[in-house]
Structure formats: C-alpha cells, structure tokens
A and B are shown apart, each in its own frame.
Chain A
C-alpha cells in the first residue's frame, strides 16, 4: 500500500508554545488530507479536511485559529497546534487519499503538553 509519513511521532512541549506536525504522502499525490485526533479509549475524531490548494474545512467545535492546517502541495500537509494547552494532549493522526481511493494513515503523533 501507499506510504504516508507523519513527523514527529512524539513531542512534548510547554504550555503556550506551538507545535507543527507534518504529513507527507511519499509515493502518491494526495488530493485530500485529513487530520484526526484520538483521546485515550475513544474513537478517531475528524478535525478537518483539506484539499490541495484550498482552505481546510473544519469540523464543528474545532477552532481553526488554534489548529492551523496548510496543504500547499499534493504531498505535504501540516497541522500547527498554536498556544498549546494540556487539554490539547492527544494522539494526532493524518491520512491522505486520492479520489475514490482508500485513505492511508500516517503513524500518528503523540503530543504531550506540560
């Protein structure tokens, strides 16, 4: 299957700082990238959907000014958690898809805000 690389896999940051997470599709062009968050023992929650070259579409309840998403190319999307707080600590996962194909997931980023 296709490969999606997500970096970093783990990050610990201080409260109030910003963290950038990268998601790259290594061997295919991803017209759409998705960002999810998963709290312990809960299901994946979609945060936003981004199509290359256009603004991300955020799910209800997700602050677009806090979770900045950039999808500047067909192989790279970034999620920046701005002014992180301890309640932002979670497992963040990206996935990339082409039209009518299955989605391939990055390895996830475990964010801990202290």
Chain B
C-alpha cells in the first residue's frame, strides 16, 4: 500500500460546481497534513493545512479523519482558475527525530465553462 494515495483524476467539472478530493495515508503516527496546489511547470504552493477540527478558507474546506486515516479537500463554487493539480501531503516523523514529508501523486482538476 502506498504511504499516501490520491485519485489522479482528472476531475472535469463545470464552473460553479462543488468538487471534493480524498486522500488516504498509511502511517497512523503521521503528525500533520497539508494540501498543496501545483500549476503546470511550477513549484507546489501551500493551499492549506489540515486540522482535526477541520478548517475553512473561503471556498476551500479541509478535514482530517484520523480514525479512518484520510483527509479531504472540498472546493465550492469552483472557478476556472482553480484548475490545477492538488497534492495531499503527510508529515511523519522518522527515526532520529527528523521530518519526512510524503506527497500523494496529486489529483488533477479541470474546471470548464
């Protein structure tokens, strides 16, 4: 089983639609969780951190379910500019106290007119 799994998509949705992505992780000791956005040929940029209580930032809502070991990202009223690849990232500790960030393969979103 992969450490972090995402559906690669693509998800093709009309403008204004609501779309949700899920991501599962295998290491129950993982410490923190993030969603990143990556545009074509650019570096990933942090979209939002994910907390157990869930967090919302405008049209974006992220949630963490530790019991089931998954995180989700909900995008409401999607815009053309939301078209990108969304990466799920899990931060777990490694032996010696360092961090290990593990990325999912990304979910591609295409928002269409």
Contact = CB atoms under 8 A, between A and B. Distances in A.
Query: Do A and B originate from a single complex?
Result: yes
Interface in A9-49: 31-32, 34, 36, 43-44, 46, 49
Contacts of A74: none
Given A43-B106, A102-B46, A102-B49, A49 B91 contact: no
Interface string A92-114: 01010101111111111000000
A95 B101 contact: yes
B41 A43 contact: no
B88 to A, nearest CB: 11
Q: What 9 pairs across the A-B complex have the smallest Cβ distances?
A: A51-B98, A43-B105, A105-B43, A32-B99, A108-B43, A43-B106, A102-B46, A44-B103, A102-B34
23 contacts: A32-B98, A32-B99, A32-B100, A43-B85, A43-B87, A43-B103, A43-B104, A43-B106, A44-B106, A46-B102, A46-B103, A51-B96, A51-B97, A57-B94, A93-B43, A95-B44, A97-B91, A97-B101, A99-B99, A100-B99, A102-B34, A102-B46, A102-B89
Given A46-B101, A49-B99, 19 more contacts: A1-B46, A34-B101, A43-B85, A43-B103, A43-B105, A44-B44, A44-B106, A49-B101, A95-B44, A100-B32, A100-B91, A102-B46, A102-B49, A102-B89, A103-B34, A105-B43, A105-B44, A105-B45, A106-B43
Interface of B: 8, 31-32, 34, 38, 41-46, 49, 85, 87, 89, 91, 94, 96-106
